[in-house]
Structure 1
Amino acid sequence: MPVTFPVSNTNGNARSDAALGILVCERKGNPPFAESSFIKRLHAIGTNSGLRLFAFAPWTWNAVDDTVKGWNWSPKKRQWESSRRPLPALLYDRAWPDTEEEKLRFRLAMRRLRSSNKLVFLNGRLPHKGKVYEILSKDRAFEHLIPPTAFYKGPASLATWLRKNRGSAFLKPIAGSQGKRVVSIVRSRNGEVRLTGRQGDNRPISTQCETEADALQRVERWIGDRAYLMQPMLQLHGPTGEPFDLRVLMQKDNSSRWTCTGIAARLGAPGSVTANLHGGGTSASAKEVLAEYFGERRCEVLLEDIGKSSYSIVARLEQTFGRFAEIGLDFGVDRNGKLWFLEANSKPGRNAMRSAGQEAARVAAERPLSYARSILLRLATIDTRRSPLGNGCSIATTDAQRSPTGNGCATPGRVIHEFDHL
């Protein structure tokens, strides 16, 4: 039976907790959490538009009085201030736990919140990268965009992959983000193998192995029991060797319609394997970069293809995994001008949008709050916090749109092995 909105409150009274809570990982120091500049901007926009919002860490929830330790920015004092607030009606996840200990703490706190409250989330959650690739590759509209992909299943699987892919491979964790813990494997004609990638803290790493067997064992030790994907080493770099990709920010407006906020190019340093900004990359105008690399005519075709593909991809993801407020999509263009879909992110950053233009940067921050306001207006006439999915997806969906995995969440954290022996 399709699920629509929760039951309306017959007396029509507004909810006392009609605020947007921004989930963060609280830490010692100033600022007290990551993305403070972005959240400060959200606070300013919300204040000007009459939307109440505050940041909080889920482990500060008090079950006795149903309150949390909420943070607000004080423009007069120019500092963050905290006070106890009622658990908000709507949650926007912008938490970035750094360590495995912090990730576990965040998961346990959210599990505790979910078990005792009926939560509504502004944005849904995508499953791991392998599941996203699987869903999209089954659709003929996207199969030409998806790189060949397989799960890493030990040294033998990687050896087979290298034989079939001209002695090279690109490995990335199924639940990773920001380019962390990726590694490329490239075998030279003399049999030596170069391993290049990034640590868990995004530091670059590079090492040369005398034999393929040595390289396979080093990769195996580093991966441990994490889940990884193998893909070809696509030639996604500019004329001087710098890696680059394209970030598309898709967001819902206050009428629940998908819009393309902007497209930006991200450029990495020569010799790097990623272009992520967190790994030291820079952003630039997508149109300028594509025109420089591929010419004006091919640039226009690529931008049109990216736009059409982006609308189709978010619609397909939403149909499969439930409703979203925003999704970041990453695309690559190889040296032959072929477009590739790289990955989707349900917690997209904002920094790259500055290079997509002032309007894109402004809208990137305003649109989630506009969409949140429309949800809070609906919640003002209901008497429950319950998301129909009960799993972090937002408030209108159908059974057919439920995640086939049951909750659309990535696999739990896995054992850590550092890349310090490569």
Structure 2
Amino acid sequence: MQHVLPICKGKDDGSRVYVPEYLLQHGRHRVSLSFGSRTVLCEAVPHSKREIQLSKSLWDLLSIPFEAKIHVHIEDSRILIGPLVGIFTSGVGLFPSRPVGERSAFFSKLLSADRQVGAYYFVFGPEQLQQENRMIQGFFYSEKGWSQHLVPLPSIIYNQIPNRRTESSLKYQKAVHLLDLEWEIPFFNPSFFSKWEIFRFLQKDKEMRDYLPYTVINPGVQLIENMLNTYSAVFFKPIGGSHGRGILSVHKEPAGGYSCRFLEDHRPKIEHFQSLISLLKTRKLYGRLQDTLVQQGIDLITWKQRPVDFRVHTNKNRDGKWVASAMAAKIAGTQAHTTHLAYGGEIKRAEEVIQHAGLPSKSALKLTKAALQLSHKIDENISGLIGEIGFDFGLDQQGKVWLIEANSRPGRGIFSHSSFRAEDYSTRMLPLQYAVHLAKQAFVSKGLNVT
């Protein structure tokens, strides 16, 4: 049985937890009480209040940070309070009032959703781990602001490492090994996706293959030339790239030669070349394409002659099922070859842009369908627990859906505009709900482990 109830600290020193009498089928009896990774034996006592009350000694022993309205799961003679969910990231703890630096506002917004979900969520990094006593100095957020509390290891970890460089660093690899492999705490969103790995297994599926633009890795000059003769443009994408960095768009000019669009100092630039080899050498790609995807350009629909693609977020919900949580149209900045906001991109409602392009309104449903199909397929093929995916899709002039990219840790900045308030809330709420689902699963599947 799962309920959301106030959790309160009592004044007595006995080893007792007071539970609403309608929840205690066996009356007063011995139970195991869990908070995060910590479990203790105590006596469950029925009382008339609609709250869970812990004796002072139990409260301190479990290191519960503060009173709150929280999920309580009762299974036979076991009770789980929480769950306690850790959000693992980098750069934590430099300033108490802004513990995640420039990203503190993002995390405060994320953690503000926990009051609706009914769980304890906190932010931490490797620096907050106390390996000897298996505790964490976690940063919590409430209406009073940020506060730090010493808590047990969490039931679940939501991975929010911001970039691949940090993820691959020795410090974070050691912390992940400790948390995931040694302490066996379930992790979701364990790592960034490899663009090539995603395309490689999707290409093997007949239905999924239809969403994929022609994509190769480490092609020779002749194959690139053939692609330029076939498609209006060809894109060069670093396998480990993000935020549009390192992407080139190459066109073959009707009068001869080649044009190359790229970003330099956050500004779009165009260079012209007489030969493909000179272009590749100048852009330091000649003979160095082993970590680069070369991909068919798509004749995207436009908004005022600027290319458009679509971000669709999918999340697992409180039942562990994939749902589409948000969608927006991203419009490229003037002369830009990508739609990233940092480079002058603009955000609009998907329905408005689809209507402007003269496509049927059901095109938005096609994007949602594609996102959910791909979410299931990626989930089947990628190891570890995946809780959210951000898809970038294109719609061509005929309304065909194309997958541009799938991101395991999608940014939410595009939904910060007031017209996307509901979508912004969903993308913050659903990962927290999924964490509750995972904690419940882990609790039900595990036996008594008293620490």
Q: State the AA in 1 paired with 2:228.
A: L
Q: Which residue of 2 aligns with 1:389?
A: none
- Which aligned pairs between 1:338-377 and structure 2 lie closer than 5 A? 338-354=400-416, 357-377=420-440
Q: Which residue of 2 aligns with 1:140?
A: 206
Query: Is structure 2 residue 162 aligned with structure 1 residue 96?
Result: yes
Gaps of 5+ in 2: 1-29, 38-82
Q: Which residue of 1 aligns with 2:141?
A: 73
TM-score by length of 2: 0.72
Question: Cα distance 1:383–1:127, how it changes in 2: closer, same or farther (>3 A)?
Answer: farther
- Which aligned pairs between 1:254-293 and structure 2 lie closer than 5 A? 254-293=318-357
CA RMSD of aligned residues (A): 3.1
Q: Which residue of 1 aligns with 2:442?
A: 379
Query: Is structure 2 residue 362 aligned with structure 1 residue 301?
Result: yes
Q: Which residue of 2 aligns with 1:398?
A: none
Shift of 1:280: 3.5
Q: Which residue of 2 aligns with 1:110?
A: 176
TM-score by length of 1: 0.76
Question: What CA distance in whole angstroms lies between the structure 1 residues aligned with 2:272 and 2:148?
Answer: 50
Question: What CA distance in whole angstroms lies between the structure 2 residues aligned with 1:188 and 1:215?
Answer: 13
Shift of 1:102: 7.4
CA contact (8 A) 1:149 1:230 kept: yes
* Greater strand fraction, Structure 1 or Structure 2: 2
Q: State the AA in 2 paired with 1:338.
A: K
- Which aligned pairs between 1:178-189 and structure 2 lie closer than 5 A? 178-189=243-254
Residue aligned with 2:242, SS: coil
Shift of 1:369: 1.2
Question: Cα distance 1:262–1:159, how it changes in 2: closer, same or farther (>3 A)?
Answer: same
Q: Which residue of 1 aligns with 2:304?
A: 240
Question: Cα distance 1:111–1:338, how it changes in 2: closer, same or farther (>3 A)?
Answer: same
Shift of 1:216: 1.5
Question: What CA distance in whole angstroms lies between the structure 2 residues aligned with 1:351 and 1:39?
Answer: 12
CA contact (8 A) 2:117 2:429 kept: no
Question: Cα distance 1:375–1:164, how it changes in 2: closer, same or farther (>3 A)?
Answer: same
Larger RCO (CA within 8 A; separation ≥ 6): 1
Cα deviation code 1:134-191 (max 9, x no counterpart): 222222222222101111245555345434546x410112232222211111232343
Query: Is structure 2 residue 254 aligned with structure 1 residue 193?
Result: no
Question: What CA distance in whole angstroms lies between the structure 1 residues aligned with 2:196 and 2:297?
Answer: 17
Q: State the AA in 2 paired with 1:66.
A: R
Q: State the AA in 2 paired with 1:22.
A: I
Question: What CA distance in whole angstroms lies between the structure 1 residues aligned with 2:253 and 2:128?
Answer: 53
Cα deviation code 1:277-308 (max 9, x no counterpart): 344422110001110112xxx33231122222
CA contact (8 A) 1:25 1:33 kept: no
Question: What CA distance in whole angstroms lies between the structure 2 residues aligned with 1:245 and 1:32?
Answer: 31
Cα deviation code 1:332-370 (max 9, x no counterpart): 012343321112112122233456743222222111111
Question: What CA distance in whole angstroms lies between the structure 2 residues aligned with 1:109 and 1:157?
Answer: 43
Shift of 1:125: 4.5
- Which aligned pairs between 1:316-331 and structure 2 lie closer than 5 A? 316-322=377-383, 323-331=385-393
Q: Which residue of 2 aligns with 1:231?
A: 295
CA contact (8 A) 2:333 2:343 kept: no
Shift of 1:218: 2.1
Structure 1 stretch displaced more, 154-163 or 170-179: 154-163
Question: Cα distance 1:67–1:150, how it changes in 2: closer, same or farther (>3 A)?
Answer: same
Q: State the AA in 2 paired with 1:373.
A: V
Question: Cα distance 1:321–1:366, how it changes in 2: closer, same or farther (>3 A)?
Answer: same
CA contact (8 A) 1:67 1:87 kept: yes
Query: Is structure 2 residue 76 aligned with structure 1 residue 13?
Result: no
Q: State the AA in 1 paired with 2:112.
A: A
Shift of 1:14: 1.6
Q: State the AA in 1 paired with 2:195.
A: K
